[in-house]
Amino acid sequence: MGLKMIVMVKQVPDTHNITGEAMKADGTVNRARLPAIINPEDLNALEEAIRIKERIGGHITAITMGPQKAVQVLKECLYRGADDVILISDRKFAGADTLATAYTLKFAVDKIGSFDLILCGRQAIDGDTAQVGPQVAEKLGINQITSLLEVVEIDEEEITAKHAITDGYELVKSKMPLLLTVTSEANEPRSPSAKLVMAYKNIDQEVNGDSYEEAYMQADDSSLIDRITEWNADSIGVDSTICGLQGSPTKVKKIENVVLAVNDIQQIPATEAGITDLMHELMDDHII
Amino acid sequence: MTNYYQDNTDIQFQLKKRDLTRVVSLVEDDFSDGKKYPHAPKDLDDALDNYERVLEIVGEISGDFVAPRARDVDATGAQYADGEVTYPKGLQEAIERINKADLSGFVLQRKYGGLNMPYTVFSAVIEIFARADASLPLIISLQALAATIEKFGSDEQKDRILPRFVSGEIVGSMALTEPDSGSDLQSIMLKASQRSDGKWQLNGVKRFITSGCEQLSLVMARSEEGSSGGRGISLFIYERDQDMRIRRIESKLGIKGSPTCELQFNNAQAELLGKRRMGLVKYTMYLMNSARLAIAAQAVGIAEAAYREANSYARDRNQFKKSIQDIPAVYEMLTNMRVNIEAARCLLYETSSMVDIKEGIERKIEMHPDSRADLKNDLSRYTKYASLCTPLIKRFGADMANQVCYDALQVHGGVGFTKEFDVERHYRDVRITSIYEGTSQLQVLGAVGGVVGGVIFERLNDYESDNDFSEVGELYDSAQKLRARLEAAVSHIKEKADADFQEYHSERLVNMATDTLLAYLLCIDALKSDRKKKIAQLFIAGAQIRVKSTQEFILADDVSMMEFHADIIKQEEVL
């Protein structure tokens, strides 16, 4: 039977490929100018889920909360081997901070029903908060292992994992159900499968589809889904006062546009002493 | 984040501006798979979109994954110890990634798990991978071996073997060459004998076998005792066991990631593929033709890599207070590199489409025998075109790529001769493309019949009647002049009716034919793009000089080479 896994993914602006117009004059991200991609560490989370499935079997459902176009990142998940996907989308979710997002995702997970493992990227490259995963685990009242480096052992009951802590790593063990946040060091995500891309590129979306439960129940490796399920605030039963902007206590006070500039050039002699001095200087500045 | 498909607009031009309607319709058998397989296309646009998306995956893997490992692959090379071969780690990882992306079985039918892609797209795949690492396409192109089994094997063999190719469980190798039989494959000695229980066993040695260490080999062997020519040869499927020993692997100038093995067969059990006596004349010729197309694609890919290295080096390198890219001696080299790469690419995809149409018609006739009458003429035409153009592009692609890599290193100056830059690797890797799968000289022999026999002119007639060249009138006039010179040279040689004289000039004839064919193809490209008008003009300007002087030489009846060569190379005393 294997594990029932949920992978939570996010669509983010591609901050690795910054062009001239990436920032607006007020210092906020110009999302229209940046290509939207799947958050890189979410791909690591998906990869880890696929490897677990390859190891002991299972079923992978990828979910994302976002606008309609976020369906694109769900397709990216299908292309790599997710068994099914759910888009959680509603105008009411707009402007959500990490707390409101975690609430919404919690309700979505509740609607999915039983699960063994939730995986998500450690943090997103837009906000860099690393909060949503841990908050979802708290709201669901389940264990969490953050910053996963390696799944050492896993079966249907229990996982032993290596995860990063300041200055090192820790080997920990937990019963299921469990939430994992995955780092880019855990694995190298696979490329999309040519066959899955061709099979899924034109897949339809079905708003509030009832077909989801059925597909989930009958999940078997050889069948491909034929619709992307979409849920909104009503269908997951989330109270609109705790989601979106309304449910977000975080208020941005000020955004500062920092321009990094080189002030002066320092010549370091290529000697033992010169390098030692540089090392000390960098340590004093807390750079290393 | 470099995508070797998305950043290569010339490959995109060749695939998108080419009318692939017929290719797609034949390959997809009018979209009959559309209902059976979720990844099968529903119509033409869907199929073209599939090609695009698959090439994007190939481009991403090439740029982000394969290319960064290529230097290590070259430095480590394939290793041999205690009878076993190990691929360099980077190459193993690349293969694993490609298999996971479902890119094995590229040209195999869907019922065996393949992607059912045309050779036109497969050529792009090879080219893109070759740009990243020249060793990789050797493994990828061995998929052609699976296609040979698909075409000539029994249903039982196909069902048993092909899905294992697709899953990546087996990569194949083609074991043709022997120590004393290189270009002359008719003389092979490896012996296949039938035991009393009807099973075949192999005895003998094969040499220069790319990936001969792999699980499955197609082995060409002499099955008819006492025979000497090509008709005594059959092709066998051999699954590796303890009865074949890898004696050693070659230490080579380039493509070091790919192991080139020497194999010793000792009573090794094998099974016959297809019919006896057809091994060389039919199956191996088929196998080698698709391999030749793949080598042409590999060569174009290596040339692309070298050109890009040279151009970006030239742009950034300042001498005499300016970028060397602006110095005539350098920009002329760079421009000619680019023009010739684009010319080769044009013929590569043209030839690939011809092969697709030929293969597609054959498959259609097999599936719908009543269509034979309608398709017979077309099949014969496209068979002739593909047999002419495959050796032409194999030779032009490989020789062009060698020149490009030579010049790319030259543009780098002294640092190009060091390992600091990748260009020296391309220079070493590209060298073999003019040699294996038939040397350039052997490709001339394969093509010259189609030139003297007039196939080339039939094809040029097609181009003349299928296109309105009025928009590129001057270019087209020049192309037609090339044709006239080629026709004059061919008639002159035919009038002589002297086999030695024809053989003596065969390389020159094939050169003229290649220039003329490329001039026509570039005129067609020029109808679709202003940039291509410039490419065509530059190419044709060079072609006119070459074709004119070659024609004059042929018509001059100067046979001093035939008469004097023995005096020069067999009697070396000067004093």
pLDDT tens-digit series, residues B225-237: 989 889 999 999 9
B362 touches chain A (CB under 8 A): no
A222, A8, A22, A230: which is closest to A123 by C-alpha? A8
Given CB atoms, is A224 within the 8 Å cutoff of chain B? yes
Give contacts of B 100-159 with A, CB under 8 A: 100-103, 115
Whether A258 is covered by a domain: the verdict is no
Which whole number is the average pLDDT over B473-482? 97
What average pLDDT does range B525-547 have in this prediction? Answer: 98
CA B574 – CA B571 distance, rounded (Å): 8
Residues of A in contact with B97 (CB under 8 A): 190-191
Check residue A214 and give its pLDDT: 44
Beta bridge partners of B244: B265
Q: Is the Cβ of A19 closer than 8 Å to some Cβ of chain B?
A: no
Tens digits of residue pLDDT in B419-473: 999 999 999 999 999 999 999 999 999 999 999 999 999 999 999 999 999 999 9
A165 occurs within a structural domain: yes
The three-class DSSP label of residue B258 is: coil
- One DSSP character per residue, B289-331 reads HHHHHHHHHHHHHHHHHHHHHHHHHHHH-EETTEEGGGSHHHH
CA distance A236 to chain B (A): 31
Q: Check CB contact under 8 Å for A197 and B53.
A: yes
A1 near B CB under 8 A: no
Is the per-residue pLDDT at A166 higher than 60? yes
How far apart, in whole angstroms, are the C-alpha atoms of residue B74 and residue B79? 11
Average pLDDT over residues B506-535: 98
Query: Is A192–B57 a contact, with Cβ atoms under 8 angstroms apart?
Result: yes
Question: If one looks up domain B440-558 in CATH, what number appears?
Answer: 1.20.120.470
- Cα B242 to Cα B116: distance, rounded to the nearest angstrom: 34
What pLDDT is attached to residue A28? Answer: 66
Residues 136 through 155 of chain A touching chain B, CB cutoff 8 Å: none
pLDDT at B288 over 60: yes
pLDDT averaged over every residue in chain B: 95
| pLDDT of A210 higher than 70 | no
What CA–CA distance (Å, rounded) separates A154 from A161? 8
Say if the Cβ atoms of A201 and B60 lie within 8 Å: no
Residues of chain A neighbouring B41 (CB-CB closer than 8 A) = 198
| pLDDT attached to residue A252 | 81
Which pLDDT does position A222 carry in this prediction?
Answer: 53
Task: State the pLDDT confidence band at A218, using cuts at 50, 70 and 90.
Answer: very low
Res A20: pLDDT: 66
Q: Is residue A11 part of a domain?
A: yes
Kindly state the DSSP code that residue A29 receives in the 8-state scheme.
Answer: B
- What is the pLDDT, as a whole number, of residue A207? 63
For residue A212, what pLDDT band results from cuts at 50, 70 and 90? Answer: very low
Task: Please indicate whether, in this complex, the C-beta atoms of B40 and A198 are within 8 angstroms of each other.
Answer: yes
- The CATH number of B172-277 is 2.40.110.10
Record the pTM: 0.92
Compare all CA atoms of chain B with the CA of A79 and give the residue at the minimum distance.
B101
CA distance A196 to chain B (A): 7
Q: A197 and B60: CB-CB below 8 Å?
A: no
Q: In this predicted structure, what is the pLDDT of residue B575?
A: 83
The answer to whether A50 touches A86, Cβ cutoff 8 Å, is no
Q: What is the pLDDT of residue A216?
A: 44
Share of chain B above pLDDT 90, in %: 93
Beta strands A178-182; A117-121: pairing state: parallel
The answer to whether B115 contacts A197, with C-beta atoms less than 8 Å apart, is no
pLDDT at A284 over 90: no
d(CA B498, CA A68): 74
Do the chains contact at B39 and A195, CB–CB below 8 Å?
A: yes
Nearest chain B residue to A198 by CA: give it: B39
A192 touches chain B (CB under 8 A): yes
Domains B172-277 and B440-558 share a fold: no
Burial of B34: CB neighbours in 10 Å, binned 0-12, 13-18, 19+: middle
Computed over every residue of chain A, the mean pLDDT equals 87
**Per residue in B323-365, pLDDT tens?**
999 999 999 999 999 999 999 999 999 999 999 999 999 999 9
CATH architecture of B9-168+281-434: Up-down Bundle (1.20)
Residue B52 at interface with chain A, using a CB cutoff of 8 Å: no
CB pairs under 8 A between A and B: 47
Residue of chain B whose alpha carbon sits nearest to that of A17: B1
pLDDT at residue A247, as a whole number: 84
Domain ranges (residues) in chain B: 9-168+281-434, 172-277, 440-558
Q: Would you say residue A219 has pLDDT above 60?
A: no
The answer to whether A51 faces chain B, any CB pair under 8 Å, is no
**Lowest-confidence range among A199-213, A245-259, B520-534?**
A199-213
* For the ranges A10-14, B33-37, B208-212, the one whose mean pLDDT is highest: B208-212
**Who among A191, A202, A224 is closest to B97 (CB)?**
A191
Tell how far CA B376 is from the center of its chain: 27
Residue B141 pLDDT greater than 70, yes or no: yes
- Work out the minimum CA distance from B92 to partner chain A, whole angstroms: 15
**With an 8 Å Cβ cutoff, are B115 and A193 in contact?**
no
- What count of other Cβ atoms lies within 10 Å of the Cβ of residue A183? 20
Average pLDDT over residues A239-257: 83
For residue B110, which phi and psi values (nearest 5 degrees)? -65, -30
**Average pLDDT value for residue range B300-328:** 97
- Tell me, what's the pLDDT at A27? 63
CB-based burial label for B19 (10 Å; 0-12, 13-18, 19+): exposed
pLDDT at A147 over 90: yes
Give pLDDT tens digits for B367-378. Answer: 999 999 999 999
* Residues spanned by the domain of A51: 3-247
Cis peptide before B41 (omega within 30 of 0): no
Nearest CA in chain B to A50: B100
B562 in contact with A, Cβ within 8 Å: no
Is pLDDT at B398 greater than 90 in this prediction? yes
Task: Look at residue A208 in the predicted model and tell me its pLDDT.
Answer: 55
Contact A245, A96 (CB under 8 A): yes
Nearest residue, CB atoms, A17 vs list B1, B65, B103: B1
CATH of the domain at A142: 3.40.50.620
Between chains, do B49 and A190 touch, taking CB under 8 Å as contact? no
**B238 bridge partner residues:** B217
pLDDT at A16 over 90: no
Give mean pLDDT, residues B86-101. Answer: 95
For residue A18, the chain B residues in CB contact (below 8 A) are: none
pLDDT at site A215: 43
How many independent structural domains does chain A possess?
Answer: 1
